[in-house]
């Protein structure tokens, strides 16, 4: 049949299909009476472009309630039903991360966690991977400063089998020597490649200069020089000190019912025997005094810069005031630092500030990737903005209102999918927070007073312990950095001081 004939027959075919499906004749609109004048369509005025449309009514939203209980061996279960889709996310949290690495061997915990699915229960890595794939389950393990995480994302009707496989990986790792050598060499190659990235070396030097060999001083993945020293014996000795139920938590989110979760948690984790947990290294005095710490990246057209200082950890009493202060200073696109360095000066595509808080300590940083020839000017502008916020140009009522409004309105977005919800919940047991933490969170943001933000801004403006980290072309930036009137010390990309 020709295409033109098909087009001609299409209306008739659709009408016939409608009659067949509905079993009733097609209803036609009533014809207007003879001589009737058709009504004119309603007239709409021109749109009003003089002001943005008014926002709709505020939607009242609260995080769902979390249920929690403890097994006899000390493992705490956190459960949140989410029935929108037939999925589940289960995360085992061990409150022992990179901060518990043996001295001089940073990266041991990360390498050990990486080895869990390289062979377990007599199954090699390929067999384990295929077993997870047959279930449609994603498996992952990761390590941070404070904790080790083992997660499975599974179909709700495959949770039992997925947890059985997870139990094999967690409790029966084989740690095959050949696989350890392979993964160790891959990690060393990755660490070597990352040393060429100015942003990465800036992050490494920041931690090394602020925290030295103590708590927080090393990235969880370690450094090339530390990973080289890790042996199979180190990994095997460290494993039982990390994987003990003391302080551990199982976070379960998904289309499950509490009795089923109770039974599964008891079946797969209830017989987990207590052990001797590893303890994190102590927080050391700041290893470096105020100054510029420069990492040479020859030929770099941009400099990765940061102005940083120590800050309290995750349980800091000023954490909510800090969120508002940080938002106004450099935590958003319209914040002061970004508007200054990007919009006004054109030194960068974006500048930001942030609090990085761990369990026992943290740091506050203001940084950017800037054009190399404006490195010194960018650092000066950051110090100017810090000083102004705590002095001549305090955070205004409008800035505070915008920061508060943005934090509150974006809060529900942190729970927009199951993975995000599970990620939020992991912070509760990790930092010893109550199950109603997120329920109380909006009220705590609302309760922050202008005086509290002003006091925090004044503290940051008056602080004398800032260090400046610059990763860029030394030949280009060092002469100009001398104008900052700060001592300049040279580091390599692993945070080792090369000059006294």
Residue ranges covered by each domain of the chain:
67-269, 292-431+440-491
The tens digit of pLDDT for each residue in 281-306 reads 999 987 788 999 999 999 999 999 99
β-partners of residue 316 are none
The tens digit of pLDDT for each residue in 393-430 reads 999 999 999 999 999 999 999 998 888 999 999 999 99
Instruction: Note the pLDDT of residue 60.
Output: 77
Contacts of 344 (CB under 8 A, 6+ apart): none
pLDDT band at 31 (very low <50, low <70, confident <90, very high): low
Q: DSSP letter at 247?
A: T
Instruction: Note the pLDDT of residue 37.
Output: 64
CA angle 253, 148, 308 (to 5 degrees): 110
Neighbours of 454 (CB within 10 A): 17
* Helix, strand, coil content of the chain in percent (nearest 5): 45, 20, 35
26 has pLDDT over 50: no
> What span, in angstroms and rounded, lies between the C-alpha atoms of 182 and 22?
66
The answer to whether 346 touches 406, Cβ cutoff 8 Å, is no
User: Average pLDDT for residues 88-112, to the nearest whole number?
Assistant: 98
Average pLDDT score over the chain: 92
Least reliable range by pLDDT among 29-43, 200-214, 292-306, 441-455: 29-43
Q: DSSP letter at 282?
A: P
Instruction: Note the pLDDT of residue 36.
Output: 62
User: Average pLDDT for residues 111-126, to the nearest whole number?
Assistant: 96
Dmax of the chain from CA atoms? 101
Question: Into which CATH architecture does domain 292-431+440-491 fall?
Answer: 2-Layer Sandwich (3.30)
76 has pLDDT over 90: yes
pLDDT band at 201 (very low <50, low <70, confident <90, very high): very high
> What span, in angstroms and rounded, lies between the C-alpha atoms of 176 and 362?
36
**Residue that has been written with the tokens 């400099």 in this structure:** 303
User: Average pLDDT for residues 454-480, to the nearest whole number?
Assistant: 96
The answer to whether 369 touches 349, Cβ cutoff 8 Å, is yes
Instruction: Note the pLDDT of residue 140.
Output: 97
User: Average pLDDT for residues 205-228, to the nearest whole number?
Assistant: 97
Q: What is the share, in percent, of the chain residues with pLDDT greater than 90?
A: 84
SS3 311: strand
Contacts of 307 (CB under 8 A, 6+ apart): 365, 366, 367, 379, 382, 383, 386, 466, 467, 468
Q: Evaluate whether 67-269 and 292-431+440-491 have a shared fold.
A: yes
Instruction: Note the pLDDT of residue 353.
Output: 98
Instruction: Note the pLDDT of residue 469.
Output: 98
pLDDT band at 63 (very low <50, low <70, confident <90, very high): confident
pLDDT band at 44 (very low <50, low <70, confident <90, very high): confident
9 has pLDDT over 50: no
133 has pLDDT over 90: yes
In angstroms, how far is the first alpha carbon of the chain from the final one?
88
The answer to whether 117 touches 129, Cβ cutoff 8 Å, is yes
> What span, in angstroms and rounded, lies between the C-alpha atoms of 189 and 228?
11
pLDDT band at 193 (very low <50, low <70, confident <90, very high): very high
User: Average pLDDT for residues 175-200, to the nearest whole number?
Assistant: 97
105 has pLDDT over 60: yes
Does domain 67-269 bear CATH number 3.30.830.10?
yes
Instruction: Note the pLDDT of residue 33.
Output: 66
Instruction: Note the pLDDT of residue 46.
Output: 83
pLDDT band at 35 (very low <50, low <70, confident <90, very high): low
User: Average pLDDT for residues 336-363, to the nearest whole number?
Assistant: 97
The tens digit of pLDDT for each residue in 174-185 reads 999 999 999 999
Q: Is 13 exposed, middle or buried (0-12, 13-18, 19+ CB in 10 A)?
A: exposed
């Amino acid at each position: 049949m020709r295409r033109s004939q098909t087009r001609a027959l299409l209306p008739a075919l659709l009408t016939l299909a409608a009659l067949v499906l509905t079993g009733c004749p097609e209803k036609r609109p009533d014809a207007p009476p003879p001589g009737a004048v058709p009504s004119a369509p309603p007239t709409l005025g021109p749109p009003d472009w003089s002001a943005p449309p008014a926002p709709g009514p505020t939607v009242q939203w609260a995080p769902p309630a979390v249920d929690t209980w403890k097994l006899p061996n000390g493992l705490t279960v956190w459960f949140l039903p989410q029935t929108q889709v037939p999925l589940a996310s289960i995360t085992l949290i061990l409150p022992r991360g990179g901060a518990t690495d043996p001295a001089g061997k940073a990266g041991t915990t990360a390498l050990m966690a990486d080895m869990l699915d390289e062979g377990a229960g007599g199954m090699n890595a390929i067999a384990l991977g295929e077993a997870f794939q047959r279930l449609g389950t994603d498996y992952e393990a990761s390590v941070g400063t404070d904790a080790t995480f083992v997660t499975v994302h599974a179909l709700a009707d495959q949770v039992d089998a997925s947890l059985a496989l997870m139990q094999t990986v967690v409790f029966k790792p084989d740690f095959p020597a050949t696989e350890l050598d392979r993964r160790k060499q891959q990690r060393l190659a990755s660490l070597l490649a990352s040393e060429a990235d100015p942003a990465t070396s800036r992050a490494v030097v920041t931690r090394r200069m602020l925290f030295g060999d103590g708590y927080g001083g090393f990235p969880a993945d370690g450094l090339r020089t530390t990973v080289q020293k890790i042996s199979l014996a180190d990994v095997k000795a460290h494993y039982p000190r990390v994987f003990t139920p003391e302080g551990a938590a199982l976070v379960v989110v998904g289309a499950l019912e509490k009795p089923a979760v109770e039974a599964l948690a008891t079946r797969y984790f209830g017989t987990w025997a207590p052990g001797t947990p590893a303890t994190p290294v102590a927080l050391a005095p700041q290893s470096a005094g105020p100054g510029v710490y420069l990492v040479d990246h020859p030929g770099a057209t941009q400099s990765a810069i940061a102005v940083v200082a120590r800050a309290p950890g995750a349980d800091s009493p000023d954490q909510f005031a800090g969120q508002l202060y940080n938002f106004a200073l450099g935590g958003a696109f319209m914040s002061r630092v970004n508007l200054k360095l990007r919009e006004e000066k054109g030194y960068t595509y974006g500048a930001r500030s942030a609090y990085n808080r761990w369990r026992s300590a943290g740091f506050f940083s203001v940084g950017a990737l800037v054009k190399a020839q404006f490195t010194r000017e960018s650092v000066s502008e950051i110090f100017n903005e810090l000083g102004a916020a705590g002095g001549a140009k305090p955070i205004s009522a409008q800035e505070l209102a915008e920061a508060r409004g943005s934090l509150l309105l974006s809060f529900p977005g942190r729970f927009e999918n199951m993975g995000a919800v599970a990620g939020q919940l992991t912070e509760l047991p990790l930092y010893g927070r109550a199950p109603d933490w997120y329920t109380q969170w909006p009220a705590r943001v609302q309760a922050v007073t202008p005086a509290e933000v002003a006091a925090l801004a004044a503290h940051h403006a008056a602080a004398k312990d800032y260090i400046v980290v610059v990763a860029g072309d030394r030949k280009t930036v060092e002469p100009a950095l001398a104008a900052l009137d700060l001592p300049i010390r040279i580091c390599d990309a692993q945070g080792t001081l090369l000059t006294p």
